[in-house]
Structure 1
Amino acid sequence: MIMSKRAFAIACHPDDLEFGMMGTMMLLKDAGYEVHYMNVSNGSLGTDHHDYQTIVRMRREEALNSAKLVGAVFHESICDDIEVFYNYENLAKLVPVVREVEPEIILTQGPYDYMEDHINAGRLAVTAAFCRGMVNMKCAPTAKPTLQNVAVYHCMPHSITDQLRRPVEADFYVNIASKMEIKRQALACHKSQKEWLDVSQGMDAYIKDMENRAAIFGRQSGEFEFAEGWVQHNPLGFGPENFNPLTAALKDFVKLMPHAIR
């Protein structure tokens, strides 16, 4: 198997990655991984006053600034907000990107979230990884299939509950205390999203909300001040049963929970 030292964070909207994955991604960068950054959706509906072209341009610039700030390779979005459907059209656009990056680690959203776009972004990332080596997979643009082992990890949903308000527990937590400042700075790049969430969801303290979530995960770990929580996807079709490169790379930062599948 080809072993690549690349980690690919695939989130739904511009700012989702900063909220749930950025600390872990930065620790992987410190551990020697080349880190890649992608929002599946372009943020086209995240406004109450800008027109389509303006908000898409703004959201792209904000995401690009965040990626540049943290030293990540930026990848373009593939669809508009609320068009993050789990369908062949979107999958055919995402598979070539995953093949191009050829990651060993994929960080993405989970199948448990209040918003369907988030769920579908995670599903697309999972299937794109699963299809990485399928020679007859039709995608545009075409991309050479890859054969590397890849481990997929799902971050915690924003509400820390699923779409039916049931609590979601992480299998392990990553200590991100040393990356909180860069996480704040990266999230602050998304100025238009802060304005939109203030209006649409009453999220008045954008960065403070992120800090509160990180502190909650820290308490749940029973050990850390600030953390991000993760669940590893079933490895069947992705790599060996015991293939867990994230916890191996970040062993000094990880707290595995007793209920986790080992």
Structure 2
Amino acid sequence: MISRLLSILFLALASFSLHAQAKDDGKLRIIVFGAHPDDAEYKTAGTAVKWARLGHHVKLVSVTNGDVGHWKEAGGPLALRRTSEAAACAQKLGVTSQVLDIHDGELVPSLEYRKLITRVIREWKADIVIAHRPWDYHPDHRYVGVLIQDAAFMVTVPFICPDVPPLTKNPVFLYSSDGFQKPYPFTPDIAVSVDDTFEQKLDGLHELTSQAYEGGASGSAEYVEKQVPPASDEVARRAWLKRRWGARQGSEADKYRDLLIKLYGEEKGKAVKYAETFEICEYGRRPSAAEIKQLFPFYDAK
């Protein structure tokens, strides 16, 4: 237990160090909100690595601590475990991690949490904010989407949360992808090839053991024993993870092939194997096509 706590402390200090080094240096500042310590990583890790490689500053935030997100363990020990996993993942991705101390499954779109999210966005001085859409199977996912929508205007209002300076320019707010159809399906405005960062994304996801290999709240002893290679076989585990995520990101690329071609050109767009996609939330700043290419400076890369 002591070694686990020391590990968590070390990773937290590393995360703090990354945050402390981030300053107004002309680089983009991106913050991604997920409901649990795996959601932001699953949806945006490939794109996060692309930004980080160019020197931009990325923070992945879990709005709840994930303390009921496992079939076998729960409470404080699980929250500590998942915080440690998220920090280890962020270290592999080259980004910053933060886990808020809100119980998993108990997030509500309250005034208290609206102010909390507003402060977190302001403190990061975000240019881009990414989160779930407010239509999802999990209430925590839905309410993250609602809270982000509610904060989209408030981040610039001086006399709400006056203890943190307001942003002088409204960020671009984006939704990460999902497959839900009602009240309307996810319709991306931005598609990013993550072919060159896919392996590093897997490096990060490999650290999310409780979710990536144990199935989280939906797992079971039978699932771990029969479906997942043993922890002792690192090579087989990594190959299993790659098959699963290769299918997901490959499906995303195929589904939105036309958008990839529009953004990358026909030759490059047709060649993309893995993609992550995003929809513009109309409550934030409405970027032009030219600004999208500034915020996602990947399309003209050689």
TM-score, with structure 1 as normaliser = 0.82
Report the equivalent of 1:260: none
Could you list the structure 1 runs, at least 4 aligned residues long, displaced by more than 6 angstroms after superposition: none
- The within-5 A match list for 1:241-256 is 242=288, 245-250=291-296, 252-253=298-299
Q: Check the 8 A contact 1:113/1:162 in 2, yes or no.
A: no
Alignment partners' CA distance in 1, 2:136 and 2:80? 27
Instruction: Report what 1:189 is aligned to.
Output: 207
* Bigger RCO (CA 8 Å, 6+ sep): 1
Deviations 1:204-257 (A, max 9, x none): 5683433211000111232321001111111x5x33553874433435449xxx
Worse overlay, 238-247 or 97-106: 238-247
Structure of larger gyration radius:
2
Matched residues in 2 for 1:64 and 1:100: separation? 19
Q: Which moved more, 1:208-217 or 1:96-105?
A: 208-217
Match status 1:217 vs 2:240: no
Q: How many equivalent residue pairs?
A: 245
Amino acid of the structure 2 residue aligned with 1:137 = I
SS at match of 2:188: coil
Task: Give unmatched runs, 5+ long, in structure 1.
Answer: 255-262
How far 1:49 sits from its partner (Å)? 2.4
The counterpart of 1:144, out of the listed 162, 165, 171, is 165
- Percent identity over the alignment? 20
Would the alpha carbon gap of residues 191 and 245 (structure 1) be closer, same or farther in structure 2, given more than 3 Å must change?
farther
Q: Deviations over 1:84-130 (max 9, x none)?
A: 21111211222111111011111211123222211211222232232
Greater helix percent: which structure? Answer: 2
Q: Which residue of 2 aligns with 1:239?
A: 285
Say whether the 8 Å CA contact 1:79–1:90 is kept in structure 2. no
- With normalisation by structure 2, the TM-score equals 0.72
Equivalent residue, structure 2, for 1:226: 274
Q: Secondary structure at the match of 1:21?
A: helix
Deviations 1:48-82 (A, max 9, x none): 22241110110110011111222212223141111
Greater mean deviation of Cα atoms: 175-184 or 91-100:
91-100
Tell me the distance in 2 between the aligned counterparts of 1:91 and 1:79: 13
**Unmatched 5+ stretches in structure 2:** 1-23, 229-239, 258-269
Native 8 Å contact 2:109 2:147 kept in 1: yes
How far 1:174 moved relative to its partner?
Answer: 0.8
Q: Secondary structure at the residue paired with 1:124? A: helix
Q: 2:125 aligns with which of 94, 102, 123?
A: 102
Change (3 A) 1:46 1:240: closer
| Residues 125-134 or 52-61, more deviating | 125-134
